Structure 1
Amino acid sequence: MKKSNKYRLSHLSSLILYLSSLISCSPTPQPPAKNILAAIRLNPPALIQFSEDLAPLSELPLSLPADCGVYDIFSPSRGSTLAVEISCSFGQSVLFLDTETGAVTQAFPQGDSHFLAWASNSKSVFLRVDNASNPTIMRVNMETLAAEIIPINEFTYDLAPKPEGFDFTFTFSRGFGFGSEIQLAKDDGRIIQLLYADPLHYISFARWSPDGKQIAFIKIPDSQIPFTVGELWVMDADGSNPRKLADADAGHGYAANWSPDGKRIAFIVRENGGDESANVSAEALVSNLYVVDVATGDLAQITSFNEGRVETAHWSPDGEALFFLRVLNGKMELQVRDLLTDEIKALLAEPACCLSWMRK
């Protein structure tokens, strides 16, 4: 009996040592992600970062090439590197900006480049490059700058990776008067499936819902009018059940964005649809921010400005606020609307452009 107990104790000690070794060899868990709001101040150029409670964190000076200005910034699903698209006299280019060190690297040094999307793994970006002579869709690794050709239509102007996966949608047009198509790509574009085609509209800003079950997009009339009134639509992930949710601004380049819980979509509405001057000049546009409930179609007007325009809105990580740029008399101001208190306030009163939430 004593021998049996001694054996059991010895066996138990060995098991404890074995389990301890497994624990010590297990990978160290990642710290919780920090939500950071990044915005660009225009003069002098700098990246301003705010904490989730909107406390200023840092100011990172930006040194841009001559005759260049920031067009927009884009953050991956997680990481401290921003993709910065700049517009220059020689065309557009995409830069990788390390928001911790300030280091800047040109994503595609061989020619012009236009940002399409971050890959779902946050390690690469999709670009359309060499637009003038040989337009090509490429994926560029953020760390190595290794570039690979993605064999999809070279006239793709919009691309959206599916959340937590390798599939992505891409949108292109075969030319004026032919409308456009959204296709689903698998195996890096080697397998494609038509999701939706519209011969009368350009489809833009296709965006997956957070759960990957739906896709929202803006329809722009296939006409020679630069800026006009379009429509916000949503469909299931396989292209079925397409339906219009609301009228929306079209042509100015304002994406509709899903709320974090996937129940609502924030988008921009043109208020002066009958003003023909706003068809050709963005400065004449009067617009406001709206939110639609995807399930019911109920609309809520978020801003009520009588002049100036509101640009693409970004949800706070908790879905309780919307951040946007308001442009009035040529001045851009970063504002936030608290959806719980209905308060609107300026977050950055200096001339600003471009904002994005980062998860570091």
Structure 2
Amino acid sequence: MGTAKEHWSREPGRWEATLMPEAWATIPVIATPKVSPDRTRIAYSRGYDGRLDVMVVPVDGGPSLQLTDYARPQGPDLSQRQAHSIAWTPDSAAIVFASNQQGKLWKVGAHGGPSRPVEEAAGNHHSPAVSPDGKWVAFVAEREENVDIFIASMDGSQVRCMTSTDPADDEYVAEPKWSPDGSKLVWMQWPHYDMPWDECALVVADVASGERTIVASGERVINNWPQWSPDGQWIAFMSDRNSGHPNLHRVRPDGSNLESLVYERADHLWPCWSPDGASLAYTRNEDNENQIWIWSDGRARKITTEPGVHSDLSWIDNTRIACIFQSPLAPPDIWAVTTSGERSQLTHSATGGVLGGDLVLPEVISWRSRDGLQVTGMLFTPKEQVPGKHPLVVHIHGGPVGQWNKQWIPWNQYLVQRGYVVLVPNYRGSKGYGREFMEKLYGDWGGGDLEDNITGAEAVITRGLVDPEKVVATGGSAGGYSTLICMTKAPGVFKAGI
């Protein structure tokens, strides 16, 4: 007869895990890689133990160098504000970053040395972009309810607002980028009462005159992630104007010749031009993965297949692309991917506790909600299975306009190793499935999405693995609100919430 400890340890939900919280808590967060203009190094942000730093790593691999100390970069917010913190100077000698020092821009040498402030204009500043001649930096300035694009001389002596100062023009702005000749800026803007996934337009401004032209817009249409072609003749961007999904488009800087380059019912993101301007790389959201595709000569082709999420694309040269890659098996790191699909890892954030963690890939599943809507999610199941005995955790994403993909979520792995089954549903309102699916949540938060989560749990229960009396909801931010809704509106299904 075994001990009480041995008896309880055999119950699913009480198993000993090999991936411990201490292991994933020590993993640094790698984000926002930016290839230097001379194509030799990649700058990125590294978050660890409550602080962020600007780092550089050679494009061919090698040790990373930490550049920041006293002044450190702000964290990126690529979802709601589309904010980033790092930009190279055109001579590749320095990096400008949005700092934690009263929200101002600072500059640090790319080979080391002290950091110095660039400007002291009012507000919190982010998303810097240095002009091709190296004399000016454009950035977003947030001052209470006002959000504008400014340019400042690199010595801080001159600052000028490029957006409208009329209070009636209540727009949020993001992503300023210089044209290759330095004469124009492009940025995206959307109504202050909306979000960038609801409606946004692209604006091109003449830097000398300040004259602004909207080059891509539309009611309830998104036009975002603008990227100048190397010759300045085109602006590539993503728009859902045709398919209901953000697809790859391009337009002339004067707003003419707007055309769709790839039309399909799949979401695209992260467009970027090759240095010779012959190709456009982007990611395609498919089967809860984000794979890299290349458009060239009127045709698109897929170059990656590794299960996971590719993001933050930036060409190293005409044959290699730097990106962030993460998966359920590996935390985010910088990788180089060739146009023929060969891969090399440039940063290494995983610890031994993660590499030896015996992790699992999820299964993509779908089910019908009460009203017949098809909903998709992912199911994580333990390698050892005890039919009818596993507790079920329904892990609800935030946003609510978010999406679970095959990304690095170590808590899911930890729960699975303890003997839980974990469902991560992409309920109505999630992005990645087109505007119609996303807008089904409007005016109905806590209604149809609750039914999606309930029917997802029921679909898992019918498989016979889980104990229907041990179903738990969990989530953060909007997922925390949804957890509250699960517990208060469906206590017969969800016995607990976290």
State the distance in 2 between where 1:324 and 1:237 align.
28
AA aligned to 1:175 is E
Q: Does 1:155 align with 2:113?
A: no
> Which residue of structure 2 aligns with residue 193 of structure 1?
160
AA aligned to 1:185 is A
User: Which of 237, 241, 247 is the matching residue for 1:288?
Assistant: 247
> Which residue of structure 2 aligns with residue 73 of structure 1?
33
Aligned ranges for residues 105-254 of structure 1 at < 5 Å?
105-110=65-70, 112-114=72-74, 115-130=85-100, 134-153=102-121, 154-176=123-145, 178=146, 180-197=147-164, 199-223=169-193, 225=195, 227-247=197-217
Q: Deviations over 1:133-168 (max 9, x none)?
A: x43321011112320012233511222211123222
> Which residue of structure 2 aligns with residue 349 of structure 1?
305
Q: Does 1:313 align with 2:271?
A: yes
1:219/1:250 contact within 8 Å kept: no
1:81/1:98 contact within 8 Å kept: yes
Pairwise CA RMSD: 3.1
AA aligned to 2:207 is A
State the distance in 1 between where 2:220 and 2:176 align.
13
Q: Secondary structure at the match of 1:268?
A: strand
Q: Secondary structure at the match of 1:255?
A: strand
Give TM-score scaled by structure 2 length. Answer: 0.51
AA aligned to 2:300 is I
AA aligned to 2:126 is Y
1:218/1:250 contact within 8 Å kept: no
Q: 1:323 to 1:79 in 2, by over 3 A?
A: closer
Aligned ranges for residues 297-312 of structure 1 at < 5 Å?
297-307=256-266, 309-312=267-270
AA aligned to 2:159 is I
Query: Mind listing any 5+ residue stretches in structure 1 that lack a counterpart?
Result: 1-63, 274-284
Q: How many residues align?
A: 279
Q: CA deviation at 1:296?
A: 5.4
State the distance in 2 between where 1:297 and 1:88 align.
46
Q: Secondary structure at the match of 1:313?
A: strand
Q: CA deviation at 1:87?
A: 5.4
AA aligned to 1:81 is R
Q: Deviations over 1:174-219 (max 9, x none)?
A: 123x3x2222212522222233235411221111111111111111
Give TM-score scaled by structure 1 length. Answer: 0.69
2:97/2:128 contact within 8 Å kept: no
1:229/1:270 contact within 8 Å kept: no
State the distance in 1 between where 2:141 and 2:276 align.
33
State the distance in 2 between where 1:211 and 1:353 align.
27
Query: Mind listing any 5+ residue stretches in structure 2 that lack a counterpart?
Result: 1-23, 75-84, 319-498
1:228/1:249 contact within 8 Å kept: no
State the distance in 1 between where 2:49 and 2:290 align.
22
Q: 1:69 to 1:302 in 2, by over 3 A?
A: farther
State the distance in 1 between where 2:222 and 2:45 align.
17
Q: CA deviation at 1:294?
A: 2.2
> Which residue of structure 2 aligns with residue 278 of structure 1?
none
Q: 1:136 to 1:241 in 2, by over 3 A?
A: closer
State the distance in 1 between where 2:70 and 2:228 align.
35
Structure number with the higher strand fraction is 1
State the distance in 2 between where 1:89 and 1:324 align.
32
1:73/1:354 contact within 8 Å kept: yes
